[in-house]
Structure 1
Amino acid sequence: MDSEKVTVTVQSSAGEETPLLVGDAMRQILDFFELLNFAGGSEGELIAWEVISVSMNSPLTITARAVPRSSGVDATSIARREKANIAYSFSDIIKGERIPDWMNDDARDRAKSFLKRNTNGVGRTDIVLYENSKPLVINPTAAGQAFKNIERYEKSIVPIIFENDLSRVEYGSIEAKLKSLTSWYDKPAIVVKERLSKRDITCVLRPEVAHEIGKTHSWIEIWAGKRALISGRLNFQKEGRLQLVSADNIEIIDQKPKRFEDIADPDFTGGLEIRDYLNQLWGDDID
């Protein structure tokens, strides 16, 4: 069975004669494929999108195919569901009819980032979901309307008005899975998925921290989905949601399973036989 493919073309807002900025083009591609996985629901993380062709000329065009992250996963059926959800959802959002159920807070944030860039920096994004079919075209007008519709929906679902401003800064740690490299106002940064909330968080690295990490860890680890303990300044929004981390230290957590030899203590019973040790522990005669 042929694998499912998607082709995304990103054009400059200044026309075909003007090259795209690298940051705009790559973030647009990353945002779209993140949205694809969100559209797959709980099964979205079971597949990945593998690049099979790239045209680096302006406009930038990337074709990717769905591949399973592990054996036994039916990547084709998951990819088809993702593509169908994306196709219907973008149409509905642009028309202002509804926001799909699969679009949680993180997915809506990703969608707004994708759409807003289409009104400033990226002039048009063409998405071919099915071979020989017309592309789904996101132009500035459609993107602007969709962005407003998402914001209107978010205002309608806020259950209460936050009378108390919960924005604050704390110093602490979070455990998260490393996802991708990025930048934040020209500073090196990492996007991570926080373990408890499952939300994507941007961790900004001071130059000296980035340099120190580079000496002790390969940056390839970022793309390998490693778990890490990130310490530093935690910035919370007014509704109390963690928004940004200014990282002072990032410690990669060893994910290798422990061997019995690594944790066994041969002197655990102090030299006693098991029966004698249990008798001493419980104060009874164990038969």
Structure 2
Amino acid sequence: MGPQTHSQSLRSAYIKLVLCAFFWGATFIAGRIAVQAMPPLTVATGRFVIASVLLLLIAYRVEGGLPKLSHKQLWVTLLLGLTGISIYNFFLFGALERMPAGKTALLVALSPIMTAVTVALILKEKLGFYRWGGIALALIGTLTIVTQGDILNATQSLIQTFSWGELLMFGAIVSWVSYTVISRFALRGLSPIAATTYATLWGTLVLGLAALTELDRLSAEMLTWNNFFAIFYLGAFGSAIAFIWYNEGVKMIGPARTVVFTNLVPVFGLLLSYLILDEPVYISMVIGGAIVIAGVTLTNQANK
């Protein structure tokens, strides 16, 4: 690959990662709309049934089908499906049931910080002074968002301050960090399309089994066009397309640099929640979000 071709590939990867952030920012709005009308696991299952169908079509059209998995690849893609699909969406849609979409999106900004720490622990990469400072900043920003700026009183009663919605969102973040790190190993010998498709199939199977517990909560009144389009958006744009492009980014520039683009997710999420859902935007959310993004940016600078 020549320098010009490599530069074009990088530019294409960066554009796709920005679009991923936009698609994922909008998933908080679509998810919020859907879970206000339907049970969360049912929404998550519908999302990934659509994503699975689209991914299979893409895999057969682009790559002529899915490759046969080795024993190791089977277990790695299963882990991807459990972390990035099943567990992540269980926590995410549980959080969206309990808190506004904009606030949920803001908390996603913790993902790059936690990824940097996880990569450092697993791959023995040292975090310098500036990176530790960025981590501290991000934690302060997160506390500012969660406590609506009342950090001092919050530290005296953390259990009362942190709601179930926020705790579920932190679980989603841990799941996504796991998915990002595991993706690095899954993409050895598998294309982004194949890895994403297999992971989605595994995750959809697990979600579908879990959704059986919600059958008694379903009704015909839930079958509206608004709900259908929300779930279709989640499956097509927020899953099939975005997951392939995200994995392409991991393969092209590595997990630590790829996950930095999730900094844009809360920006798009907060903006769209205000424009579409008319959710209030508090000054503490803006300040806290800015602090988190500053901390993430500092953490992901080159080693110093």
TM-score over 0.5 (shorter chain): no
TM-score (norm 1): 0.28
Q: Which has the higher contact order (CA 8 A, sep 6+)?
A: 2
TM-score (norm 2): 0.26
Q: Which has the higher helix share?
A: 2
Q: Which has the higher strand share?
A: 1
